[in-house]
Chain A
Amino acid sequence: MNETNPTGPLIPPQIPTRPARLPLGENPEERQPIPNVLAAAEAMLRQPRRVMYQLQQPGSGRLIAAMLLLVVLCAAIYGVVVGTFSYGTQLWAAPVKIAGGLLVSALICLPSLYIFTCLSGSQARLVEVFGLVTGLLLLTTILLIGFAPVAWLFSQSTNSLAWMGTLHLVFWGIATVFGLRFLETGFSHSKARSSAGLNTWVVIFVLVVLQMSTALRPIVGTADTFFPTEKKFFVTHWGDALKSPNDKSRD
């Protein structure tokens, strides 16, 4: 009698585990330099690890400069689309305010991010942190370009300032989620012990950008002055915008 168990030994099935996070640069493709602005945009979408690796290399300043240039360009293009809701001066004012507002928000938040990363034990240098924030802005603005045709269609179809403001905020929110994911992934390769500091910074960054959008109003509608004459907290401004009648000529 053959006593061999035909079904083999009873070994419980292996539960698939997530593959361990490979160090940056492990894949030879990630070590290829990013030659120009277009390659940077492509790499942000398809090979974000390549961008992260290049940001850690000496002389990453050129890449960061190229990325910043692209941020300004993409933000300006989306700004023009935002401006088509009111036309007139908003066609140039909205791009200037969106591009400028994003850059200034990032600059305001950069020192706190660097401090948080140091406190969490990260080995990242200031230039790397700056590069990661630039990556966050770049991915956000590239995605906003993807949303631009939809935003344009809606801006031609409605007079409601509240509706358009909400739509732009939703688009910015979705794009920012992807941008922050890039930042968090980059941060996870900097040997930090905890991500609590980064999570706190994310909240700060989002609040700063939202307040910036109020401080630079009108971005969607129009007003007599380039900057607002009255200071407001962004929640108050949203409440006022929702109460006001549908009108393109209000901020």
Chain B
Amino acid sequence: MNASSASVGRPDFRTLLQGRADALRPWTQPGHLRATAMNVAVIFLGAGLYGAAMGWWREPLQGFYVAIKFPLVILLTTLGNALLNAMLAPLLGLNINFRQSLLAILMSFAIAAAILGAFSPLAAFVVWNAPAMTPDVKSTLTYGVIKLLHVAVIAFAGIAGTVRLFQLLTQLGGSQAVARRVVFAWLAGNLFLGSQLTWIARPFIGSPQLPVVFLRDTAFQGNFYENIFQTLQHFLQPD
């Protein structure tokens, strides 16, 4: 038995990052608890490290809070949509079971989290070089650049995870068209729920006028989409 075939199905970090669909496929089968545990650990570590770098600008305590919140948002999105995603897959032509759909999504998030973790030193370096937060921080160029950096890194990690998920689903279902439909449906659902969970878990970067807290008192008041709607309304009808 050569090294390559031996590595197939054995959960290790390298296989996860390589994203070879044939090697990852056995991870979605029963009896791969180690792979599941590794995915969860990678999400906690990778997203946690990036979250710490994100919140550190406001205060180290904020960094600690975000290090916990960011992985939780990812895991709660995965679990919150698990049932729906498992129902949508067969309806869209991919006959996989609940476990397989859950683990496939978990795996794609783990890949995204690993990328985020890899970028966390870079984010920390940028934050370390940034001047301390001032009350007018949100109108400064530094704030804009840092926010844009976070958006770019998170988007890149998300896209990479999605591409791997697409490859895995193509392998599981044998059809690119079906995999495309399922990935699109899953993405739409995860984006919808994930945005709201992120809204509830705010602040991430933090604001100097507001105290450092794990969750704001207003966490469950209003929602992400209402806020976007109100902002649009404000732009369209300034009076």
Which of A56-64, A156-164, A201-209 is near enough to bind chain B? Answer: A156-164
Q: Is the CB of B84 within 8 A of A153?
A: no
The bracket for how many chain B residues form the interface is 20 to 34
Within 8 A of A (CB), among B84-114: 84-88, 90-91, 95
Q: Is the pair A45, B192 in contact by a Cβ cutoff of 8 Å?
A: no
Set B84, B86, B199: member contacting A147, Cβ < 8 A: B84
Task: Please report the C-alpha to C-alpha distance between residue A45 and residue B92 in the assembled complex, in whole angstroms.
Answer: 10
B212 at the interface (CB under 8 A from A): no
- Say whether A46 contacts B90, CB under 8 Å: yes
Q: Cβ of A154 and Cβ of B84 under 8 Å apart?
A: no
Which of B39-47, B52-60, B166-174, B215-223 contacts its partner? B215-223
Q: Is the CB of A157 within 8 A of B223?
A: yes
How near does chain B come to A137, taking the closest CB pair, in angstroms?
A: 15
B103-150: which residues lie under 8 A (CB-CB) from chain A? none
Query: When chains A and B are docked, how far (Å) is the Cα of A45 from the Cα of B192?
Result: 23
Taking chain A's interface residues, is the majority helix, strand, or loop, or is none over half, making it mixed? helix
Alpha-carbon distance between A46 and B200 when the two chains are bound, in angstroms: 35
Tell me if A149 and B87 are in contact (CB < 8 A): no
Take A146-B84, A163-B223 as given contacts and tell me if A153 and B196 are in contact as well, using a CB distance cutoff of 8 Å.
yes
List A contacts of B189 (CB < 8 A): 150
* Interface check A81, CB cutoff 8 A: no
Say yes or no: is B225 at the interface (Cβ < 8 Å to chain A): yes
Number of A-B contacts (CB under 8 A): 56
Number of residues of chain A lying within 8 A (CB) of chain B: 19
Q: Is B159 an interface residue (CB 8 A)?
A: no
Given contacts A157-B196, A157-B220, contact A142 B87 (CB under 8 A): yes
Name A153's contact: one of B85, B86, B95, B197 (CB within 8 Å).
Answer: B197
Contact yes or no, B88 A146, CB < 8 A:
yes
**Is A129 at the interface (CB under 8 A from chain B)?**
no
Q: Does A93 have its Cβ within 8 Å of any Cβ on chain B? A: no
Q: Interface on chain B toward A: helix, strand, loop, or mixed SS?
A: helix
Judged by a CB distance under 8 angstroms, whether B15 is at the interface is no
Cα(A216)–Cα(B234), bound, Å:
35
Chain B residues near A146 (CB-CB < 8 A): 83-88
B-contact 0/1 string along A160-178, CB 8 Å cutoff = 1001000000000000001
- Other-chain residue from B87, B88, B90, B221 in contact with A157 (beta carbon distance below 8 A): B221
Please give, as numbers and ranges, the residues of chain A lying within 8 Å of B199 by CB-CB distance. Answer: 157
With A149-B80, A150-B80: A158-B223 Cβ-Cβ less than 8 Å: yes
Q: Are A150 and B226 in contact, with the CB atoms below 8 A? A: no
Shortest A85–chain B CB gap in Å is 12
Closest partner residue, chain A, to B88 (CB atom): A146
Contact with B along A34-69 (1 / 0, CB 8 A): 000000000001100000000000000000000000
Contacts of B226 in A (CB 8 A): 158, 160, 163
- Greatest chain B CB density within 10 A among A147, A150, A156 is at A150
4 closest pairs, A vs B, by CB? Answer: A146-B84, A149-B80, A146-B87, A146-B83
Chain A to chain B contacts (Cβ below 8 Å), 26 pairs: A45-B87, A45-B90, A46-B90, A143-B91, A145-B83, A146-B84, A147-B84, A148-B83, A149-B81, A150-B80, A150-B192, A150-B193, A150-B196, A153-B80, A153-B193, A153-B200, A154-B196, A154-B223, A157-B196, A157-B220, A158-B222, A158-B226, A159-B221, A159-B222, A163-B223, A163-B225
Given contacts A142-B87, A146-B88, A149-B81, 11 further A-B contacts (CB under 8 A): A45-B91, A46-B90, A143-B87, A143-B91, A147-B84, A150-B84, A150-B192, A154-B223, A157-B199, A157-B220, A157-B223
